[in-house]
Amino acid sequence: MHRALSRHPGTSHPVRFTALLAAVVGLTMSGTTLAQDVKKESRRGRQKEVKPVELNASQVAELTKVANERKLTVDDLLAATKTYMPSGRHDDYVLFSSGGQSGQVFAIGVPSMRLLRSIAVFTPESWQGYGFSGQDDPVLERLKINGKLVPWGDTHHPALSETAGEYDGQFLFIGDKANARIGVIDLRDWETKQVVKNPLTVSDHGGAFVTPNTEYIVEGGQYATVLGYGYAPIDDYKKSYRGMVTLWKFDRAKGRIDVDNSFALELPPYWQDLADAGKLASDGFIFLNSFNTEMATGGIEQGKPPFEAGASQRDMDYLHVIDWKRAEQAFKAGKAKKTNGFPVISLETSIADGLLYFVPEPKSPHGVDVTPNGQYMVVAGKLDPHVTVYSIEKLKKAIADKKFSGKDDYGVPVLDFDAVMEAQVELGLGPLHTQFDDKGYAYTSLFLDSAVARWTLGGDYAKKHEEAPWKLVTKTPVQYNIGHLCTAEGDSASPDGKYLISMSKWSVDRFLPTGPLLPQNFQLVDIGAPGTTMPVLFDMPIGVGEPHYCQMIKADKLKTWTTYPEIGWDPHTQALDPRAPRAGKEGVTRDGSQVAVNMTAVRSHFTPEHVVVNEGDHVTWRIVSVESTIDATHGFCIGGYGINLSLEPGEFTEFTFTADKPGTYPYYCTEFCSALHLEMMGYLQVKPKSSTAVTDATK
Amino acid sequence: MSGFTSRLLGPRIPSAELDRHRARYLLPTLLLSLARVLLLVSIFLPYWHMELVAPQYPDGLELTAYVNHLGGDVKEIDGLNHYIGMRSLHEAGQLERRASVWIIVAMVLLVEGAAVVHSRWAILLAIPALLFPVIFLIDLQFWMQLFGQGLDPKAPLSSSVKPFTPTILGEGGIGQFKTYAEMGWGLWLAFASSGVTIVGFWFHRRAYKPLFEAARRASSPVEAVAGAS
């Protein structure tokens, strides 16, 4: 260095110095960061590293004493250890569950089974301020059906958005069975962005299910009606009533269903049930179960067989096989005709274009579930003690070879059962739904046996487990009457195994009695070990509604916002709203009887704190939280006017109302935000018509 | 005037001497250059950090002072400070923050100038740069004291949080917060720049003093004669 310097004093050394300096600065800075990290950890007293547990004799004695006092078994201790989450520790998985008649979605941490939050979808919910922003509430608007507010839903089947058959953690779709609606939830802020109403049918069941890249959200119908809210006497059932399946096009960039590019297929008036989309080997197909191919029309009061008997006469019903990629081509080719303004591909077109085939399935089945590799479709018998497994390879070949056993009443070709069936596995009574793990096992809920069955898959899966293929391995009793079940990412292309949730419908004696209405029971089952060990670890009461289906996603796939990205964010548009009031620009302005309030909220005050209007004024109230700190949420309510908002950090909301009742109305923050939360209030004063009118509303 | 200038600048280095002892003259130049670079780089680095930790802020709040702006959770800290009646942090040291970059550039130019002055007075030009980090800390203390002592008596928490002086280095506390304040790397670099400047001037003096004395020896008889006449 010294020599180099003396040889080239003018040129080389500044460069070297800069380089050296950069290196020194770089090193010292990285050193600082490290040093600061260490210091922060110790300052906060947070322990990231947990020392391995080594119980000494006195701790064993203490643990034994507590266990015996509480009458816990060794298995109970293990179960507790497998599920307990110390304060501040986050769960590995998030379970998104339908909330049944609550019209909501529940998010639950697994394995701790702690309820993280509910997400309002079809039912106004006041904590989230969902549907409580006055007369023009966009939520209430979206919940209208044929102009009538239908403020509840029967949420059934959540569907996480997928990319290449894997959950991508971006969106969640949920079907409303009662009203044939699909809700779209954005998983950045966990809020409902859209509700679409199916214009064809009143109720549905086979929704929501997504195609492997979320090209479409599938909504299969259930109870046949005259499509498009039509009327026909029940005697015209076969002629006028129809089933349907709708393919809602999803626009991922917009995060919305693209209604204009969505379409439906007309189906015979069988009661379509659950659906699943093919993937990998079966990509391009949708599978949809059905029952009541008898086309029973009930009438118990007239001495006719009730539905429950009439719909269970035939030995076989039809698994619907729909080639959605060809259906999409037919739709794009203009072959769909509009019913109630919505494009529907007729049965004739479906038959002519080879879009629809039927496969016989044991009578009145329930779930149809595609294996992770897409090679098999598993149909659970419900009234039949078997699951019936179909091979996509055989199915495609049967279609190519036209191996039909006949046609149904509407001319739909019925594939030969033996040509497409791969295996039938006897599991027990009331098989309903099937999911999968990473070890080549399938898990089927047995409603009547009140058990979860583990059984082996064959084909490519046979080498993953030690047992013979297509055989029952074990059953674990669950309490009680299991409906759906769900394993970790268990309906994706690569299930994780580990955990299974039994969505038990009856809890009977599992919890303290809560009156005649009892909670549901979500049971966590440990499916980590192969073979016959499959213990129940935890019971979680769900006392908010009757959930149906749930999906479990790895928590780190969710890219959740903890505050809105910018101050003035409108969650409805997921964009900054130029109308959002800015700090320093608040106030009340008046144009005739139109009053605009521009308000900001920050700990611990609203600005302005006085709003004076005249009776009869139409008030447009814009309010923005100028907070940007995690969990610094405010609420905003005006008692007597039915207003309650949740103002999350950065959120902008606008609501309107007519100040038709004079008086003095305190408005206040409804979310305990700070030490001066109670002081976070203001007065809305509505001057009676008799008193002097307010001309300058700003006070 | 030219006599004064040459006296101030000091004797030039004869080229033969420069060839013989290039390193001796280069060393102070390089050290002073380093000092200048350190000071310039410090503009981009935080001069001071404070971390505030409270139960409901498990990740803590950060306040970072650069010579020309504040960084970190200023908005949240200001929001909390309003409860105790402290003025917004942005109101503190506005003039300093606006002028600091220009002041640093000016100080660097003065040190640059000092490098061509070979007399012992060269160090005078570097005094502002030498003292800069100390002045920064004094200024910081001034503002903290002014803000901490000047709490609005009508503030909501005025009964439980009395006027105080925040601790600008080390551990302090206010309300439920513990504060940890420390020098940032910019300030360390500024101090390092001062240190390097002092060392640079030591070598500067060692290199030029002999020349200076030689020049004086050579010129003094003439000057004495001139002075006598």
Is A620 within 8 Å of A656 (Cβ atoms)? yes
**Calpha distance A399→A321 (Å, rounded):** 10
Compute the mean pLDDT over every residue in chain A, rounded to the nearest whole number: 92
Q: Distance, in angstroms, between A181 CA and closest chain B CA?
A: 41
Report the C-alpha gap between A435 and A445 in whole angstroms: 9
The tokens describing A663, both together, are 């008086």
Read off the tokens for A561: 């916002």
Q: How far is B76 from chain A (nearest CA, A)?
A: 7
- The arrangement of strands across the sheet holding A681-687 comes to A610-614, A681-687, A663-668, A634-638, A643-647
**Which has the minimum average pLDDT: A40-44, A446-450, B94-98?**
A40-44
Lowest-confidence segment of A39-43, A104-108, A300-304 by average pLDDT: A39-43
pLDDT value, residue B11: 73
Question: Is domain A93-557 given the CATH code 3.30.9.10 in the classification?
Answer: no
A199 band by pLDDT with thresholds 50, 70 and 90: very high
Residue of B nearest to A601 (CA): B79
Q: Sketch the domain layout of chain B as residue ranges.
A: 2-228
Strand intervals (E) in chain B: 48-54, 57-65, 70-72, 170-174, 177-183
Is pLDDT above 70 for A697?
no
- Any residues with CB less than 8 A from the CB of A617 and at least 6 apart, and which? A590, A593, A594, A595, A658, A659, A686
Residue A36 clears pLDDT 50, i.e. is over it:
no
Give the distance, in angstroms, between the CA of residue A74 and the centroid of all CA atoms in the same chain.
Answer: 36
Picking from A478, A486, A527, A495, the residue whose alpha carbon sits closest to that of residue A95 is A486
Helices (H) and strands (E) in chain A, counts: 11, 46
Is pLDDT at A43 greater than 60 in this prediction?
Answer: no
Q: What is the pLDDT of residue B226?
A: 43
A569-687, what's its fold?
Immunoglobulin-like (2.60.40)
Chain B: residue nearest A39 by CA? B180
Angle between helices A74-83 and A57-69 (to 10 degrees): 100
Identity of residue A450 = S
Intervals of CATH 2.60.40.420 along chain A: 569-687
Q: Read off the tokens for B108.
A: 């660097």
pLDDT(A70) > 80: yes
**B53 and A CB contact within 8 Å:** yes
What backbone torsions phi and psi does residue A595 show, to the nearest 5 degrees? -115, 135
The residue-averaged pLDDT of A146-174 equals 97
β-strand partners of A133: A643
> pLDDT tens digits, residue range A452-491?
999 999 999 999 999 999 999 999 999 999 999 999 999 9
Residue in this structure with the two tokens 């709040």, named with its chain if needed: B61
Q: How far apart are CA A624 and CA A645, in angstroms?
A: 11
Residue A679 near chain B (CB below 8 Å): yes
| pLDDT-flagged residues of chain B (< 50) | 1, 223-229
Name which of B33, B73, B79 is nearest A602 (Cβ-Cβ): B79
Q: Measured between alpha carbons, how far is A665 from A685 in angstroms, rounded to an integer?
A: 6
* Residue A37: closest C-alpha in chain B: B59
Domain with CATH 2.130.10.10 in chain A: 93-557
Q: Is pLDDT at A26 greater than 50 in this prediction?
A: no
Global pTM reads: 0.89
Which pLDDT band holds residue A532 (cuts at 50, 70, 90)?
very high
Could you give the count of Cα atoms lying within 13 Å of A23 in the half-sphere of its Cβ? 6
Q: In the structure encoding, which two tokens stand for residue A67, read together?
A: 């266990």
Strands A256-267 and A342-345: what pairing?
Answer: parallel
Chain A residues close to B32, C-beta within 8 Å: none
A121-135, A531-545, A572-586, B199-213, range with the lowest pLDDT: B199-213
Q: What is the DSSP letter of A90?
A: P
Per-residue pLDDT tens digits for A104-117:
999 999 999 999 99
Question: What pLDDT is recorded for position B138?
Answer: 96
Residues B198, B159: Cα–Cα separation, whole Å: 50
**What is the distance between the alpha carbons of residues A228 and A260, in angstroms, rounded to a whole number?**
16
Across the interface, of B38, B75, B185, the residue whose CB is closest to A32 is B185
* Contact assessment for residue B204 and residue B137, using Cβ atoms and an 8 Å cutoff: no
